[in-house]
Amino acid sequence: GQQVMQIPQYQHVQEGEDFTTYCNSSTTLSNIQWYKQRPGGHPVFLIQLVKSGEVKKQKRLTFQFGEAKKNSSLHITATQTTDVGTYFCAGPGQGGSEKLVFGKGTKLTVNP
């Protein structure tokens, strides 16, 4: 079945350093979404990318969707302690079998 892989699984950075998480799908995606889950919280929608090669920015966060629409990345510039959490990518399920298929996430910790 469809798989969405995310790397790295964990990332620890010093405050002020940059951070990137990568997402790869086994199939071409019509769109990709990113969610953030704070410790003890629930996933919160960040953004959706639809177009091939699309790049979107939200303040210090930059999201990219690959040209082949099979991979995506999230880059955070100059991390802050408020960026702590787990970042998930998710793509639509194939054949209507699943709502969204989530990657296992990248857990980001930031040392102040």
Partner 1 sequence: KAGVTQTPRYLIKTRGQQVTLSCSPISGHRSVSWYQQTPGQGLQFLFEYFSETQRNKGNFPGRFSGRQFSNSRSEMNVSTLELGDSALYLCASSFRTGTNEKLFFGSGTQLSVL
Interface residue with partner 1, options 32, 64, 88, 110 (CB under 8 A): 88
Q: Is position 14 an interface residue for partner 1 (rule: CB under 8 A)?
A: no
Structure tokens at 15: 């405050």
* Per-residue interface string for the shown chain with partner 1, residues 37-76, x marking contact by CB under 8 A: ----xxxxx--x-x--------------------------
DSSP assignment of 82-102 equals GG-EEEEEEEEPGGGS-SEEE
Q: Choose one: 12-20, 53-61, 77-85, 92-100; the region binding partner 1 (CB under 8 A).
A: 92-100
Residues 71, 88: Cα–Cα separation, whole Å: 13
Work out the burial of residue 20: count CB atoms within 10 Å of its CB; fewer than 13 is exposed, 13-18 middle, 19 or more buried. middle
In the complex, the residues that contact partner 1 under the rule CB under 8 A are 30-31, 33, 35, 41-45, 48, 50, 88, 90, 93, 96-105
